[in-house]
């Protein structure tokens, strides 16, 4: 799922593949929509809402459009503009749909939200990326930390996905800009990329970052990369799956297991609106319950049969009505 520079022969090849995937998804989403409607969303009322992590019987993988996601209910979590600390802003995303699964000691969280524009390049001073993040208290069962970034004694762990880092790192101006020309780069070793040289997490391919924070301005990426993330855009919406193995990978990161009850908050950024950092849409904390309830079996064929059957009956009925009407 991870679209990196290395696995694309060319950027355009990668883009074409992604588009095919997006088109395929439009069909899936129609069904997801129908099923979600039948299942009914659970409206989130701040802390009262609970996201249940269902137990999957097969590896759901990192594809947000994959089978099991369609069979579990989404929790609609309302979002507001971040207005606690500088820089305020970001109110482009009214709500996100949150779902969760676990399989074989691995938690999967899926976040979906409306966004009609894909902003997956930051190759330009005014370009900002679409992004999403989920946030957990550093220790499960601890007092819920202040919503934004935790506080000095109770930290938070944040998993962030960014559309631009998933798309890869562009290397030079000419590579990114068809009109760009460079005569010669005399030296291209890492010393010329100070951020890379000192291990800045943004100067790397990879869609996900694992961050810990204990208050504003303390957000720090962990040197290890225990979190995976992958996003797909269907033309109107982003859907992103995050995953991590249950055991805590280190300090400031929650230890999870079946039976864990903790909290989860969501943030999302719309690159089109130049959202970044505090300029984002944020949710309150909602409960996350990693339970043993299995993912409901795949009823899609039945629903399709029902829909097609209903349509068939309807058509027949219309024809009959039309025939017998003078």
Partner 1 sequence: MAKVYNWQLGREMEYPYAGGDRERQFAAVFNINRCIACQTCTMACKSTWTHYPGQELMFWNNVETKPYGGYPRSWDAKLLEMQETLDPGGQNWAGTGQADVRSPYGRFDGKTIFETANGTSERVTGYLPDDDEWKAPNNGEDHGTKMGPDGAKLPVHQGWFFYLQRICNHCSYPACLAACPRNAIYKRKEDGIVLIDQERCRGYRKCVAACPYKKSMYRPTTRTSEKCIACYPRIEGQDPISDGVPMETRCMASCIGKIRMQGLVQVEADATWTHDPRNPIYYMVHVEKVALPLYPQFGTQPNIYYIPPRWAPREYLRQMFGPGVDAAIEKYANPSRELLALLQLFRATREVIFAFDVIPGPVAQTLNVGGRSRTIYDDTVVGYDAKGREVARVKVVEPVVTRPGSINSI
- Site residues (CB under 8 A) for partner 1? 83, 85-89, 122-126, 164-165, 169-173, 176, 180, 182, 185-188, 192-200, 202-203, 216-217, 219, 274, 276-279
Polymer length in residues for the chain: 326
Smallest gap from residue 169 Cβ to partner 1 (A)? 7
Smallest gap from residue 237 Cβ to partner 1 (A)? 25
Smallest gap from residue 294 Cβ to partner 1 (A)? 40
Element (H, E) at 210: strand 208-213
Residue among 91 and 97 whose Cβ is closer to partner 1: 91
* Residues 6 or more apart whose Cβ sits within 8 Å of residue 225: 206, 208, 209, 210
DSSP calls for 53-77: EEEPSS--TT-TTSHHHHHS--EEE
Residue among 186 and 301 whose Cβ is closer to partner 1: 186
Distance CA 229, CA 241 (A): 5
Smallest gap from residue 63 Cβ to partner 1 (A)? 26
Residue among 202 and 246 whose Cβ is closer to partner 1: 202
Cβ atoms of residues 163 and 130 within 8 Å: yes
Q: Which DSSP symbol is given to 292?
A: E
Q: Which DSSP symbol is given to 279?
A: B
Residue among 192 and 310 whose Cβ is closer to partner 1: 192
Distance CA 304, CA 296 (A): 16
Smallest gap from residue 229 Cβ to partner 1 (A)? 17
Question: What angle, 0 to 180 degrees and rounded to 10, lies between the N-to-C axes of helices 300-324 and 11-39?
Answer: 70
Smallest gap from residue 279 Cβ to partner 1 (A)? 7
Residue among 78 and 170 whose Cβ is closer to partner 1: 170
Residue among 195 and 307 whose Cβ is closer to partner 1: 195
Structure token digits, residue 184: 């010669």
Residue 186 has a CB neighbour count (10 Å cut-off) of: 6
Residue among 187 and 324 whose Cβ is closer to partner 1: 187
Distance CA 264, CA 157 (A): 10
* Residues 6 or more apart whose Cβ sits within 8 Å of residue 97: 41, 74, 75, 76, 77, 111, 112, 113
DSSP calls for 147-166: TTT--SSS-EEEEEEEHHHH
Smallest gap from residue 115 Cβ to partner 1 (A)? 20
Smallest gap from residue 284 Cβ to partner 1 (A)? 20
Beta-bridge partner residues of 221: 211
Distance CA 135, CA 157 (A): 6
Residue among 69 and 161 whose Cβ is closer to partner 1: 161
């Amino acid at each position: 799922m991870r679209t990196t520079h290395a696995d694309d022969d060319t950027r355009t090849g990668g883009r074409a593949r992604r588009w095919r995937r997006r088109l395929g998804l439009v069909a899936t989403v129609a069904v997801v929509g129908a099923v979600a409607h039948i299942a009914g969303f659970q409206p989130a009322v701040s802390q009262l809402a609970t996201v249940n992590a269902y137990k999957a019987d097969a590896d759901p993988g990192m594809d947000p459009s994959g089978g099991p996601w369609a069979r579990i209910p989404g929790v609609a979590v309302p979002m507001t503009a971040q207005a606690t600390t500088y820089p305020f802003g970001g109110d482009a995303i009214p709500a996100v749909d949150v779902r969760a699964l676990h399989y074989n000691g691995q938690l999967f969280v899926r976040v979906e939200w409306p966004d009609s524009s894909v902003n997956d390049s930051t190759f330009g001073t005014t370009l900002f990326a679409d992004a999403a993040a989920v946030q957990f208290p550093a220790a499960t069962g601890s007092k819920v930390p202040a919503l934004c970034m935790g506080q000095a004694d109770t930290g938070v762990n944040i998993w962030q996905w960014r559309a631009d880092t998933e798309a890869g790192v562009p290397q030079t101006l000419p590579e990114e800009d068809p009109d760009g020309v460079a005569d010669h780069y005399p030296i291209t070793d890492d010393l010329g990329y100070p951020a890379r040289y000192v291990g800045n997490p943004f100067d790397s391919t990879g869609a996900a970052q694992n961050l810990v924070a204990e208050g504003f301005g303390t957000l720090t990426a962990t040197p290890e990369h225990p979190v995976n993330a992958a996003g797909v855009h269907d033309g109107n919406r982003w859907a992103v799956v995050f995953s991590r193995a249950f055991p805590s990978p280190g300090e400031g990161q929650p230890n999870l297991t079946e039976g864990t009850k903790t909290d989860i908050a969501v943030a999302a950024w719309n690159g089109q609106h130049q959202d970044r950092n505090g300029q984002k849409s944020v949710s309150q904390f909602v409960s996350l319950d990693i339970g043993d309830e299995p993912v409901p079996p795949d009823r899609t064929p039945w629903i399709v049969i029902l829909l097609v059957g209903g349509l068939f009956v309807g058509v027949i009925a219309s024809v009959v009505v039309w025939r017998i009407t003078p």
